[in-house]
């Protein structure tokens, strides 16, 4: 708990207009997308890196807990101030695009920049920043780095970590560190930027991010493959990629999602549709795009597709993507609440993983509609419950735990996108052995010996 003496000192650092300690603001900043609520004791908006250093130095001395916050769109509770203390918000001042270096194809941004604002700014000069989480309109790049966010385009273009070249950050003792360089090659020293990526605000506060950019591809087309069964679609995923297809996105919708789209939104799909693959292909010459579509068409049909549809950019493409965009809202026909996890398995294991996930759902009596980024092996698994009883919810969580055990056993991971935070912290011992968890604690101790920065997240000590 921080008292008025601390508040007064912190006002001296950031100015009275950049600190909130009134109830209304504390409530407003007590949420993220998990919709769980923890109130901080104060919300601070640092103006620049030096403010952050001064705040951390003071808090380290007085053992005041700090939680960094981007846009608060996290799905696993990383930005929740679970221990009270200070919430350090990047949204108000630390939100500038500092540089777009066209010649080196690099952007330098502050952590509070909104992902989509960066995408738009670089596209204006013919460049391209591919990581596109579905929350792109409101999540921050600092939050993306801290969660190693991914998006639809990951199948071809990878995820946030593939674009981070360098970071500036402030350690909990106030030290300002630089990690990485604006060079394609940099092999000097430990890869500290690599450790900070996906560290969920537990090691340092990121203050500046240098990102690799690409040239913006000139041509894009969308495709949809309609398959009679989930197994056929899943086989088509890894077989088409092994055959040389390189789609920007390859999104999967299973038979329950297809049913929900038809029933809830009246989307017209053939009677035989048991699963869909939807995506984009792109390129700098139109022949490249056509070549990609040919490979997909052939591979999909060889793996049972009953139809392969192609759409140009614009309205036709939007129509194809409509089904994918509405997958999540449509599945509420199976239950008012979804226990949603974003597991990832090696792509060749997808058919078996899904069969066994449905078996787990059946055993507990839950529908488990699945959809997501099949092109990169990352599937959103939704155990649908209706909140009818505490027992039902408990069973739902047991089913999730079994699903985690299954995917880890198959060489997969607890989270392909959303991170661990507080929601998945109890499951860390499924994915990591004692020695690995001990190493995580040692790394945390090296950065933050007083455990003031976002304690209790990622299964680390409170």
Ligand X SMILES: Cc1cc2nc3c(=O)[nH]c(=O)nc-3n(C[C@H](O)[C@H](O)[C@H](O)COP(=O)(O)OP(=O)(O)OC[C@H]3O[C@@H](n4cnc5c(N)ncnc54)[C@H](O)[C@@H]3O)c2cc1C
Q: Which residues bind ligand X (CB under 6 A)?
A: 32-33, 67-75, 78-79, 90, 111, 133-135, 139-140, 142-144, 146-147, 149-151, 200-201, 205-206, 417-418, 454
- Reduced to 3 states (helix: H, G, I; strand: E, B; else coil), residue 219 is strand
- CA-to-CA separations, 166 to 173, 331, 357, in angstroms, rounded: 21, 40, 39
3-class DSSP state of 278? strand
Shortest separation between residue 3's beta carbon and ligand X, angstroms:
24
CB contact set of 63 (below 8 Å; sequence gap of 6+): 450, 452
Judged by beta carbon, residue 74 or residue 369, the one nearer ligand X is: 74
| Residue 71: CB minimum distance to ligand X, A | 4
CB of 101 vs ligand X, minimal distance in Å:
21
Shortest reach from residue 391's CB to ligand X, in Å:
28
How do strand 370-373 and strand 378-385 relate by DSSP bridges? antiparallel
Measured from the CB atom, the residue of 21 and 202 that comes closer to ligand X is 202
Shortest distance, position 161 Cβ to ligand X, whole Å = 11
Instruction: Give the DSSP letter of residue 239.
Output: H
Residue 140 · residue 194 · CB < 8 Å: no
Give the shortest CB-294-to-ligand X separation in angstroms: 29
Written as six digits, the tokens of 266 are 């009246």
Residue whose token pair is 């007083």: 450
Instruction: Indicate the residue among 254 and 417 with the shorter CB distance to ligand X.
Output: 417
The number of C-alpha atoms within 13 Å of 192 and in the hemisphere containing its C-beta is: 20
Residue 35 is given by DSSP the state: -
Of residues 385 and 420, the one with the C-beta less far from ligand X: 420
Q: How far is the CB of 240 from ligand X (least distance, A)?
A: 22
Minimum distance, C-beta of residue 117 to ligand X, in the bound complex (Å): 12
Considering beta carbons, is residue 74 or 180 the nearer one to ligand X?
A: 74
The structure tokens listed for 98 are: 């500092």
Report how far residue 95's alpha carbon sits from residue 93's, in angstroms, rounded to the nearest whole number: 5
Q: How far apart are CA 209 and CA 386, in angstroms?
A: 42
Q: Of the two residues 227 and 447, which places its CB atom closer to ligand X in the complex?
A: 447
Instruction: Considering the complex, state which of residue 80 and residue 289 has its C-beta at the smaller distance from ligand X.
Output: 80
The count of other CB atoms within 10 Å of the CB of residue 71 is 24
For residue 443, give both structure tokens: 């790394």
Residue closer to ligand X by CB (options 299, 423) is 423
| Minimum CB distance to ligand X smaller for 262 or for 337 | 337
Nearer to ligand X by C-beta: 156 or 273?
Answer: 156
Q: Rank residues 147 and 232 by Cβ distance to ligand X and give the closer one.
A: 147
Q: How far apart are CA 258 and CA 263, in angstroms?
A: 9
Instruction: Report in angstroms how near the CB of residue 158 gets to ligand X at its nearest.
Output: 12
Residue 331 Cβ vs ligand X, minimum distance, rounded to whole Å: 14
User: In the bound complex, what is the minimum distance in angstroms from residue 169's beta carbon to ligand X?
Assistant: 7
12: burial class by Cβ within 10 Å (0-12, 13-18, 19+)?
A: exposed
Instruction: Tell me which residue of 381, 355, 357, 386 sits closest to 369, measured CA to CA.
Output: 381
What are the backbone dihedrals phi and psi of residue 44, each rounded to the nearest 5 degrees, phi first? -120, 140
- Buried/exposed 198-231: b ≥16 CB within 10 Å, e otherwise: bbbbbbbbbbbbbbbbeebbebebbbbbbbbbbb
Q: Are 254 and 371 in contact (CB under 8 A)?
A: yes
> 164: phi > 0 → left, psi -120 to 50 → alpha, else beta; which?
beta
| 326 within 8 A of 385, measured Cβ to Cβ | no
Phi then psi for residue 53, to 5 deg, are -60, -45
């Amino acid at each position: 708990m921080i008292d008025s003496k601390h508040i007064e000192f912190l006002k001296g650092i950031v100015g009275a207009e950049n600190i909130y300690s009134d109830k209304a603001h504390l409530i407003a900043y007590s949420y993220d997308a998990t919709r769980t609520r923890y109130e901080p004791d104060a919300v601070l908006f640092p103006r620049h890196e030096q403010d952050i250093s001064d705040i951390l130095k003071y808090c380290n001395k007085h053992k005041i807990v700090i939680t960094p916050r981007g846009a608060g769109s996290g799905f696993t509770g990383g930005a929740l101030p679970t221990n009270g203390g200070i919430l350090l918000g990047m949204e108000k001042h630390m939100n500038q695009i500092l540089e777009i270096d066209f010649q080196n194809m690099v952007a330098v941004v502050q952590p509070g920049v909104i992902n989509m604002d960066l995408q738009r700014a670089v596209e204006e000069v013919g460049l391209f920043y591919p990581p596109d989480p579905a929350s792109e309109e409101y999540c921050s790049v600092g939050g993306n780095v801290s969660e190693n966010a991914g998006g639809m385009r990951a199948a071809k273009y990878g995820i946030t970590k593939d674009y981070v070249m360098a970071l500036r950050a402030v350690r909990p003792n106030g030290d300002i560190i630089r990690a990485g360089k604006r060079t394609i090659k940099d092999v000097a020293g430990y890869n500290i930027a690599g450790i900070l990526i996906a560290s969920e605000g537990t090691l340092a506060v990121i203050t500046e991010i240098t990102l690799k950019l690409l040239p913006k591809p000139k041509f894009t087309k969308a495709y949809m493959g309609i398959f009679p069964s989930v197994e056929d679609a899943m086989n088509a995923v890894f077989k088409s990629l092994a055959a040389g297809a390189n789609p920007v996105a390859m999104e999967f919708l299973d038979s329950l999602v297809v049913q929900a789209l038809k029933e809830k939104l009246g989307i017209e799909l053939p009677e035989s549709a048991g699963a869909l693959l939807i995506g984009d292909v792109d390129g700098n010459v139109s022949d490249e795009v056509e070549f990609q579509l040919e490979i997909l068409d052939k591979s999909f049909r060889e793996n049972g597709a009953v139809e392969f549809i192609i759409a140009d950019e614009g309205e036709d493409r939007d129509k194809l993507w409509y089904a994918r965009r509405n997958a999540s809202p449509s599945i509420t026909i199976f239950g008012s609440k979804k226990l949603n996890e974003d597991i990832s398995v090696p792509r060749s294991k997808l058919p078996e993983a899904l069969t066994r996930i449905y078996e787990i759902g059946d055993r507990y009596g839950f529908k488990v509609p699945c959809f997501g980024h099949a092109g990169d092996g990352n599937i959103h698994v939704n155990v649908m419950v209706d909140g009818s009883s505490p027992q039902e919810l408990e069973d739902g969580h047991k089913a999730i735990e079994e699903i985690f055990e299954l995917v880890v056993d198959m060489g997969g991971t607890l989270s392909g996108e959303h991170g661990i935070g507080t929601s998945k912290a109890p499951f860390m011992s499924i994915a990591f052995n004692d020695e690995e968890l001990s190493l995580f604690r040692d790394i945390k101790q090296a950065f933050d010996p007083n455990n003031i920065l976002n304690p209790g997240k990622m299964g680390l000590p409170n």
